[in-house]
Amino acid sequence: METILYIATVEKDGSLAKGALEALYAALELKSTLSGAKFVAGLIGTDVQAAANSIAGCGAEKMLGVSGSDYSQARYSSDAAAVTAFAQAAQATVVIAPGTSRLNRVLPGASHRLGGVADLHITSLSADGSDLTVVHWHYRQRMKAEYQRKNRPWLLAIDPGIYPVWSGAAGTASVEMVDVALPAVRTQVTGFHTPSADEQTIRPEADLLFVAGAGWTKKQADGQTHTADAERYILGFLKATQASLGSSKSLVDLGGEGQDVLGFLTHLNQIGQTGATPRHPKGLSTCCHGEEPHVVGWRFVNERRAINLNANCGWAHGKADVLYVADAFEVMKKVIELL
C-alpha cells in the first residue's frame, strides 16, 4: 500500500502557485485510483499556515510544515533537508512535487538520502490497482516512455501546464511542524534581476505561441529587407494579444553573425530540438519554414497555424492544421488593424 506525500513550496505572499496546485491535482487523482493509498501533504515556506488553509479541503490525513526565514528562499541545503524530513515523517513511498526549478534541484539529492529514486519532468501518473505508472518524454519529446519502479520512496516532479489546477474548498488546517536537521546554511539569495515587463516576451502561460522565423529579415518582393516593419508588426501583435514569442534557430543565430535582426530576440526564444518545447493551446508560425528540428519543439502545441509564401514549406507537410499561403507582412498588418 502506497503513502503519497505531496510537497510544495509556498510563495512570498503565502499562497501556492499554479504549478503547485496542478501537482496537488495530480497527486489527488493518483490517490483516487491507487488502491488503498494514504495521502499526506507537506509545505515549505516562511509561514505555511495560509497555504495550508487554502488546501484544507484536499483530504490529507496529515498536513506537515516547515517554516521560518531559512525556508523563505530556494537553497539546496535547507530545501533538501526539508524534503527528506517530510518523507521520513510521513513514511512516504511516493512523493509528488511540482517540477519547479526550486524542487527539481533538490529531489534527486533527497531521494539519495532516503535510499530511494527520483524522476523529474513527469507528464502523467496513472494507477492500475496497486501499480503506479509514470510517463516521461525523451530525446526532445520524440519518444514517450511509460514505466514503473520497484524502489521506494519514489520522488516525482510533475511538469507544469499539464494537469488542471486543484480548486477544492479552503478551511482551517492543522499543521504539524516537522523538525529538520538543518545543516550549515551558507547561501543567501540577495535579489532578483528581471527584465522589464515590455522586454518580457516569453510568457509560458499565454494561450498563443507566436513564432517569428528568418523570413522576417530576408529580402522581400521589392528586393529590400524590411526589418523595422517586422519589429513593428511582431511587437504590435504581442502587445495586443499578450502571446508568447518564439523564434526559429535561424533567426536568433543571425544576431550572433552580426546581421540586422530583431533586437528583442534571444536564444531563450528559440523553439525546437536545441531550443524550448513550450506548452500552449495554440501556435501561429510566421516566416518560418517549419523544418523538423524546429517543429519538434511544437510537440505540445495543440492547434497549429502557419503563414508562409511557400505552399510547399514544411508546415504544408502535415505539420500545421492550417497553412495560409500569404505574405506575413500583409497578413500581420491587417491582423493588427483588426485587433
Ligand X SMILES: Cc1cc2nc3c(=O)[nH]c(=O)nc-3n(C[C@H](O)[C@H](O)[C@H](O)COP(=O)(O)OP(=O)(O)OC[C@H]3O[C@@H](n4cnc5c(N)ncnc54)[C@H](O)[C@@H]3O)c2cc1C
Q: Which residues bind ligand X (CB under 6 A)?
A: 213-215, 218, 220, 248-251, 270-275, 287-289, 291, 293-294, 297, 307-310, 313, 327-329
| Of residues 289 and 319, the one with the C-beta less far from ligand X | 289
Cβ distance to ligand X smaller for residue 3 or 285 = 285
Nearer to ligand X, 83 or 251 (CB): 251
Among residues 47 and 229, whose Cβ is nearest to ligand X? 229
- Least Cβ distance, residue 98 to ligand X (angstroms): 26
Run of H or E including 109: helix 101-114
Position 112: which residue type?
H
Give least dist CB 281 to ligand X, A.
21
Q: Least Å distance between CB 227 and ligand X?
A: 12
**Rounded least distance, CB 213 to ligand X, Å:** 3
Q: How far is the CB of 205 from ligand X (least distance, A)?
A: 22
| Least CB distance to ligand X at residue 288 (A) | 4
User: 10 Å Cβ neighbour count for 150?
Assistant: 6
Q: What residue ranges in the chain does DSSP mark as E strands?
A: 3-9, 38-45, 62-67, 94-98, 117-128, 131-138, 143-147, 154-158, 175-177, 208-212, 244-247, 282-286, 303-308, 322-325
> Which alpha helices (H) appear in 199-261, and where do they start and end?
227-241, 249-256
Identify which of residues 201 and 273 has a Cβ nearer to ligand X in the complex.
Answer: 273
Cβ-based neighbours of 337, under 8 Å, separated by 6 or more: none
- Taking the C-alpha atoms of residue 42 and residue 158, their distance in angstroms, rounded to an integer, is 16
What cell was used for 47?
509561514
Nearest to 260 by CA among 213, 210, 216, 199: 216
Retrieve residue 126's grid coordinates. Answer: 496513472
Residue with smaller CB distance to ligand X, 75 or 289: 289
